[in-house]
Structure 1
């Protein structure tokens, strides 16, 4: 499969454009483009989208994930199409409206979208009224409250070299952990043991124990670094790893491990609605219109 650097060179040569002229067209420098072509620097998501649009190819083709050059249709959906997508995405069985107008407008779409969100949230609260609808980040105190509402006791105590331990509805978090950000990551992983593992799994030499430990950690990654939360961060203009970790209230190490988990689970990229989340060569998100 071709790489980004190979595709960039091929497209530039097909269009018979020099690095200097391409740099002018993209409002960047010749040296920056040269680093991209020689794999000395990794482009960010904005540049990749800009380059794909310039050459009129798909992001997947540009990254070497597909041989289909087709650029996504940029035609905006009609209000009716937008509503159909909302119904499908939220799994609404019946949607009816009584209004005096004849044609559905974009303002109507926004009103219906808000109503659908209300219905979905109301259904979630009715199904499980123990928890509120989660925001994009969760503080240590909020997760602590959720854990305790499940009948699990949490203690901050001296547990030696361990950062967290779990046994029979009891979680211990090391009192030596300095930041609440790291505490929430540890607590999420230990909660993963409550939901996903059984038996004694201490030690790293037994394959079954290793698998169970990984299951618990993966549960924690998805709890604090959800796919939807990654998209919401992208929509808010968050791009750097540091800013993303701050937004999600997790450590950068935890964020890196979560991304690695998604890469193992989904592969190089994952498509959801009109977004493509790429986990390699670096995390970035492409939105298709």
Structure 2
């Protein structure tokens, strides 16, 4: 049974590093969550390392710029690992060929910036669907549109046998009070239609490998048993932690706030029911990171 805690400090001394989700945990898609920022700052002052591990399809430089806009201070974290960077690395290794159709908004165009850390990367060209060797999905063109509007393009891609690289496995996020679809929802629909979707963000292994590399680059060879994963996605943050052998702190007041009846803290009965339904049992739960 998950243990409901009142603050990160109750358990933080057991861990040398945190892998912390962003959306719904550190910010709400509009602005920083002050209690979360304060908790991370306090943890770092005690010598802990904070790696922000996000399913954002953006390169880490773009996420860092976004964090400034959201007023998340730089002293709240040490490094950033993004699904976008993990997926970009795969794209430039040629997992969906070199002629790709970008399924996503134009604001995600930085995804295709040159990647200088690979030797002999594949030259990537963005082309129309009819000329593509594969799809790179960074999200729906309209994140609030009916998912059925995605189907015609996906049927055309399926007919050509194209693989879909998913740059963000999240299904939904909440931007303030507005819920939006993410690339993971598109990839899920494509897979259900019989297509092949490739994932590189949480809960899949590549992004955790990237997060460990970011950690090790800081000079910290920390064992998995001394890392805590924090986030509000039961199928991403918590499942990823479980699959990687990393303890997790579930933020019930994010995506599952309604199901867990979380205001300040979750209702214990509602939380238990939700976790049983999701067949998940994170070691720790808190309403909001603080």
TM-score range, shorter chain: under 0.3
Q: Which has the larger radius of gyration?
A: 1
TM-score between both structures, scaled by the size of structure 1: 0.27
Higher relative contact order (CA 8 A, sep 6+): 2
Higher helix share: 1
